[in-house]
Amino acid sequence: MAGKKHTSLDRVLGRLDTLDSVNLTNLVQRLAREHGLFEDIFNTLQEGILVISENGEIEYANLSAHRLIGLKTDDLTGSVLWRLVPGLRPSLETLFDDAAQDLPVVAREIELSYPESRVVRLYMVPFKGESSDSARRFAVILSDITREKQSTEDRIESERTSSILLLAAGVAHELGNPLNSLTIHLQLIERKLKTPKAPKGKAATSLADSIRVCQAEVSRLDGIITNFLDAIRPRPPDLAETNLAEVLDEVLRFQQRELEDRGITVEAETSSDFPAVMADRNQIKQVFFNLTKNAMEAMSPGGKLRIRARSDDDNVYLLFGDTGTGIKQEDLGKLFQPYHTTKTGGHGLGLMIVQRILREHGGQVGIESKEGVGTLVTLQFPQKNRRVKMLK
């Protein structure tokens, strides 16, 4: 039915020059009625509906969208969504030129501070008109989930903390003591290998290699326990003025050997005058390490990790983009859940720790991904001056 109506309308519009004044008036009235009907439908919805151009200029917004993002009706023309919601610009296009014609669907939860503090779930889909020369646009759906988010997070956090803390006590006791014992006995064996009565030649070398393997495995298990305990017993950040570019450079230098071994190149662009933020240097190191490690494990030899930095009047952004396998759409909503992992041997706590650290720094983390293209993680930090205002 919709197709026939569309075809009929096209035929009428194609004969505009031949219509008399009566038929032209009837056509205009019909179009006005249909336009009014659609306006009434969209304005009845609780969700905000936006249509924006490729540059982010808002071409249409229903009443709920005006309310959610504080947009006055007479301010619609020329307003740019990227300015109203910082950090939202679809960034895969800027990082991956070959993906510019095939942007992913973006699903994200964002925190808005204007016109009031609220949490909004955003769903953004690129589309084009039927003609080949039609410009690309985005349809955006905004849902206010402030109450839902608060009640759900409080419940989940309470249940998760209780269950994980109970489990942690058992893990620390059951694994910690045997690991300490293994470490001590491996050290004793290593000392005996250095005595005059110890085996020599190939036997000694083989035994020494076995000891090193055992020590490495003990260290690995100890690291898993440490990550586990850090996730459930978070320490408040020790905030100090921090240059994120310097911390990033330190982490990349530490990981340089592993990146080279995996055949992965890194392109990092940060300016010398990058704004400072108030942050815990060691916790931010952990964030960068977790993200670069995830990116490395998602890519094959020849992959690229691209890191970009930018800022606006309120925030500082770091974007980590990889050319890995990407993440399935159904898995995007589970990424910050504890123990959810798609990697063999993964513990599923890395992104949970990243999200917790960013929240405690007053920031946010967003993820965009497309299978076969890659994944982009956006870290948003409040600038130092804004952080001071927030704490007053």
Same domain, 377 and 338: yes
Which backbone phi and psi does 268 adopt, to 5 degrees?
-115, 125
What is the 3-state secondary structure of the chain? CHHHHHHHHHHHHHCHHHCCHHHHHHHHHHHHHHHHHHHHHHHHCCCEEEEEECCCEEEEECHHHHHHHCCCHHHCCCCEHHHHCCCCCCCHHHHCHHHCCCCCCEEEEEEECCCCCEEEEEEEEEECCCCCCCCCEEEEEEEECHHHHHHHHHHHHHHHHHHHHHHHHHHHHHHHHHHHHHHHHHHHHHHHCCCCCCCCHHHHHHHHHHHHHHHHHHHHHHHHHHHHHHHHCCCCCCCEEECHHHHHHHHHHHCHHHHHHCCCEEEEECCCCCCCEEECHHHHHHHHHHHHHHHHHHCCCCCEEEEEEEECCCEEEEEEEECCCCCCHHHHCCCCCCCCCCCCCCCCCHHHHHHHHHHHCCCEEEEEEECCCEEEEEEEEECHHHHHHHHC
Q: How confident is the model at residue 159 (pLDDT cuts 50, 70, 90)?
A: low
Both 244 and 387 in one domain: the answer is yes
The verdict on 52 and 66 lying in the same domain is yes
Residue 78 confidence (pLDDT) above 80: no
CA 127 to chain CA centroid, nearest Å: 22
Asked if residue 264 and residue 175 are part of one domain, the reply reads no
Out of 232, 256, 278, pick the residue that ends a domain.
232
The CATH number of residue 95's host domain is 3.30.450.20
pLDDT at residue number 263: 93
User: What pLDDT, in 10s, does the model give residues 99-154?
Assistant: 445 566 677 777 777 777 788 888 888 887 666 667 778 888 888 888 776 665 56
Tell me: do 353 and 321 sit in the same domain.
yes
Q: 385 and 294 share a domain?
A: yes
Q: Are residues 356 and 246 part of one domain? A: yes
Same structural domain, 10 and 118: no
CA 87, 329, 286: angle at the middle one, nearest 5? 55
Q: Which of 122, 144, 166 is the last residue of a domain?
A: 144
Q: What tokens were used for 49?
A: 């509906």
Q: Which of 115, 144, 173 is where one domain is finished?
A: 144
Q: Are residues 226 and 280 in the same domain?
A: no
CATH number, domain containing residue 320: 3.30.565.10
**What are phi and psi for residue 203, nearest 5 degrees?**
-60, -45
Name the residue among 271, 197, 283, 201 with its Cα closest to residue 242: 283
Same-domain status, 138 and 199: no
Single pTM value for the model: 0.49
Do 96 and 163 belong together in one domain?
Answer: no
Write the pLDDT tens digit of every residue in 206-239: 777 788 878 877 877 777 677 666 655 667 888 8
% of the chain with per-residue pLDDT over 70: 68
Residue located via tokens 């898995």: 331
What local confidence, expressed as pLDDT, does residue 319 receive? Answer: 92
| Domain boundaries, position 163 | 153-232
Strand partners, 374: 370
Bridge-partner residues for 112, per DSSP?
118
CB count, 10 Å around CB of 310?
18
- Judged by average pLDDT, the poorest of 91-95, 132-136, 271-275 is 91-95
Are residues 85 and 109 in contact, defined by beta-carbon separation less than 8 angstroms?
no
For the chain, how many structural domains are there in total? 4
Do 135 and 223 sit in the same domain of this protein?
no
Give the C-alpha separation, 36 to 30, whole Å.
Answer: 10
